[in-house]
Amino acid sequence: MTQDIWTTVDNYVSEMLVSPDKALDAALEASSDAGLPEIAVAPNQGKFLMLLARSINARNILEIGTLGGYSTIWLARALPEGGRVVTLEAVARHAEVARANFKRAGLADVIDVRLGKALDTLPRLAAEKPDPFDFIFIDADKENIPDYFTWSLKLARPGSMIIVDNVIRDGEVINARSKDPSVRGVRRFNEMLKDEKRVSATSIQTVGVKGYDGFTLALVDKV
């Protein structure tokens, strides 16, 4: 009953408020055809990310965890002229499907896909001394969220917004005895945030087509 109504309401909301978009639909279809896991953000979540990025005029966006690039396309839709998205992906097949999706969407020039484990590609990216990222979406393996967050702070500026997906995990986040590496990753992240003076953060629980989960928003006050 509960998942049914969450799904039905999410579909209703997306139908009412998220305009059909050929590039996004094609990206999902190609990802599914390629057998990628169906764990992209939901349409209404993708639009929410786009609106957040737009609301801070994000020009340089970093994503950790590309999959087939569905969320990446949403983020790219927030960019002003001259903006770019760098997205990090460990699995070659995922990066390949994503690149094809970006090409089809006419976004290949503004999205830079970096193949490799993010803990390898993040230091390489930092070594390029890029302009600070205004908006960072952390959505890869959950056990490394604490490290991804540390890297994100190095790559951010005061005013940058960091969003971390999947931080509630069906409520398992409150289970201090959990052996699930994802849950442990999120819990370690929360311990970090608790004492982190450089950001103001909160977490919001969500329900919808993707079940019961949530995200954290951290606004960088100083770096």
User: Which residues would be at the binding site for ligand SAH (CB under 6 A)?
Assistant: 39-41, 65-67, 70-71, 88-91, 94, 117-118, 139-141
Give the separation between CA 106 and CA 138, rounded to whole angstroms: 24
Shortest Å, Cβ 96 to ligand SAH: 11
* Residue keyed to tokens 């979406």: 137
What are the residue ranges of helices labelled H in 34-84? 43-55, 70-76
Residue 110 in 3-state DSSP? coil
- Of the candidate residues 44, 72, 121, 166, the single one contacting ligand DHB (CB under 6 A): 166
The answer to whether 144 contacts ligand DHB (rule: CB under 6 A) is no
Shortest Å, Cβ 45 to ligand DHB: 9
User: Quick check: 109 and 84 in contact, CB under 8 A?
Assistant: no
User: Quick check: 156 and 133 in contact, CB under 8 A?
Assistant: yes
The answer to whether 139 contacts Mg ion (rule: CB under 5 A) is yes
> What's the order of all strands across the beta sheet hosting 84-89?
111-115, 84-89, 60-64, 135-138, 161-165, 211-220, 199-208
* Residue keyed to tokens 């609301």: 55
The answer to whether 166 contacts Mg ion (rule: CB under 5 A) is yes
Residue 129 in 3-state DSSP? coil
Shortest Å, Cβ 144 to ligand SAH: 6
Shortest Å, Cβ 156 to ligand SAH: 19
The answer to whether 39 contacts ligand DHB (rule: CB under 6 A) is yes
The answer to whether 165 contacts Mg ion (rule: CB under 5 A) is yes
Give the separation between CA 167 and CA 145, rounded to whole angstroms: 10
Shortest Å, Cβ 76 to ligand DHB: 18
Question: Which 45-74 positions form the footprint of ligand DHB (CB under 6 A)?
Answer: none
CA quadruple 15, 79, 140, 49: dihedral positive or negative? negative
Nearer CB in complex with ligand DHB: 59/184: 184
Residue ranges in contact with ligand DHB by CB under 6 A: 39, 139, 165-166, 210
Residue ranges in contact with Mg ion by CB under 5 A: 139, 165-166
